[in-house]
Amino acid sequence: MLNGRHFLHVPGPTNIPERIIRAMTTTMEDQRGANFPKFTKPLYEDLRKIFKTKDGTVFIWPSSGTGSWEACLLNTLSPGDKVLTSRFGQFSMLWMDMCKRLGLDVIDIEVEWGEGVPLDKYAEHLKNDKNKEIKAVLACHNETATGVTSDIEGVRKVLNDTKHPALLFVDGVSSIASINFEFDKWGVDCAVTGSQKGLMLPAGLGILCVSKKALEATKTSKFKKCYFDFQDMLNTNPDGWFPYTPALGIMYGLRESLNMISEEGLENVFKRHHRLAEGVRQAVKGWGLKLCAKEKKWESDTVTAIYVPEEFDSANVIKTAYLKYNLALGAGLSDVAGKVFRIGHLGDLNELMCLGAISGAEMAMRDVGIDIKPGSGIAAAEEHYRETAPALPND
Ligand SMILES: *Cc1c(COP(=O)(O)O)cnc(C)c1O
């Protein structure tokens, strides 16, 4: 039993603010009650602001992000359709794997972990696809396993430059509501997210934003689907209803989450994430360690994956931090298991919370014998936060 608060610094689930916890601690209501649409309709409106879309259609599934991946594929494509994907971490790999398991014909570009979506290779495949057989292009906006953010606007540009009509599907599970995301401007056709990351909620909602073009594609889709059929949602959602019992408790939390984001201002939320992330990166520099992200342009503002020196096992750092300091760090997954640990820095966070995670990681690394100068990371982060923290309001 450890006293005090638990430091949750995995990149999802993230910390749930008190306001949201209170909003969710309530009795249920009749989801067919006359007043229910007054609650649901504004949720869609406010989610469209998060996605930055005017006309996109938003669906809220009782599911996790993985369910939104599946909903996106099943409703817009047909078995055997060709899709262009790339993998450079656990999550981009899993979505690619889902495509294969569903029977899609997958162009599967393997990229070194630490890099992101390979625009040049995408351009090559799209240019060579003379018969326009590629029906969809998949891109993981923020690869949570490696702390790598990709250039989605760049993917759109490649599609435009090659005049390719493929749909653009983006996994934004660990970016949306934390890192700038522009559904309309980037011409995204399906954007996938979930509740337990930037939206500061428990897991349990899969959220999907869909373009007109993707809705059009549902007419020719030949996949069998039932629970995730867009049509059942389209028949009921516009009037504020659901085809089945929605996850009411989390949706009350979502209402509060969207209020909080709107009060802070979405652009300020992005700036805060950038500032906090930069402090974590300064700490890594102070330790003299290496990021998993290979270049500055790939660095993620929601999660940082850090290599431990080769002779050490990162799992021991994570275990020590957890058992000794009540700090949950993210594990290294698949290819980087034992090699990296991750500090999640998204959602409800401030400078001192990040310093808690940095300090705990620093102590745990020293405990397992890694030669880190005490205070080296924490000092670097502190200086960054001191220099960049906004002054008190009305000061
Ligand atoms: C967390 C995550 C997922 C998976 O979401 P679940 O809610 O666990 O199903 C997918 N993609 C990315 C990038 C993620 O970070």
pLDDT at 150: 98
Cα-to-centroid distance, 206 and ligand 1 (Å): 10
Per-residue pLDDT reduced to its tens digit, 87-98? 999 999 999 999
Q: What percent of the chain has pLDDT over 90?
A: 97
Classified as helix, coil or strand, 154 is helix
Work out which ligand 1 atom sits closest to the CA atom of 69: 10
Per-residue pLDDT reduced to its tens digit, 67-82? 999 999 999 999 999 9
pLDDT higher than threshold 70 for residue 329: yes
Work out which ligand 1 atom sits closest to the CA atom of 175: 13
pLDDT higher than threshold 80 for residue 1: no
pLDDT at 283: 98
Q: Is ligand 1 within 6 A of the CB of residue 144?
A: yes
pLDDT higher than threshold 60 for residue 395: no
Element containing residue 108 per DSSP (H, E): strand 105-110
Q: Is the dihedral of CA 94, 97, 101, 103 positive or negative?
A: positive
Per-residue pLDDT reduced to its tens digit, 137-182? 999 999 999 999 999 999 999 999 999 999 999 999 999 999 999 9
The tokens describing 199, both together, are 């939206």
Q: Is ligand 1 within 6 A of the CB of residue 176?
A: no
pTM (two decimals)? 0.97
Per-residue pLDDT reduced to its tens digit, 284-325? 999 999 999 999 999 999 999 999 999 999 999 999 999 999
Per-residue pLDDT reduced to its tens digit, 359-368? 999 999 999 9
Rounded to the nearest integer, the mean pLDDT of the chain is: 97
Cα-to-centroid distance, 274 and ligand 1 (Å): 21
pLDDT at 323: 96
Q: Is ligand 1 within 6 A of the CB of residue 362?
A: no
Give residues with Cβ within 8 angstroms of 302, minimum separation 6.
11, 142, 144, 147, 174, 175, 178, 179, 197, 198, 273, 277, 344, 345, 346
Main-chain phi, psi angles of 142, to 5 degrees? -130, 105
